[in-house]
């Protein structure tokens, strides 16, 4: 299995097309192993922290809920 990692600088240079391809893979959920799906999920999450505007259409894939700390 090839591990796909992106540095913060690489995430900075990602475009909408690349994020859409990543989201499409997650939507299809057709991975040989669960670890590969988790890897893509973590990448999408990293992009969300650094470039939220690119991930907004795919927020549902992250399954992140707002927390009320009060």
Within-domain flag for 24: yes
Within-domain flag for 70: no
- Rounded Cα distance between 28 and 10, Å, is 24
| Overall number of domains in the chain | 1
Q: What is the pLDDT of residues 3-59, one digit of tens each?
A: 456 888 888 889 999 999 999 999 999 999 999 999 999 999 999 999 999 999 999
Within-domain flag for 55: yes
Structural domain for 49, as ranges = 8-62
Q: Which of 53, 51, 48 is nearest to 63 (CA)?
A: 48
């Amino acid at each position: 299995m090839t591990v796909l990692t992106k540095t913060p600088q690489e995430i900075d240079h990602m475009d909408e097309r690349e994020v859409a391809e990543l989201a499409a893979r997650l939507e299809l959920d057709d991975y040989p192993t669960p670890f590969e799906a988790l890897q893509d999920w973590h990448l999408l999450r990293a992009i969300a922290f650094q470039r939220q505007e690119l991930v907004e259409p795919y927020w549902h894939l992250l399954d992140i809920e707002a927390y009320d700390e009060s």
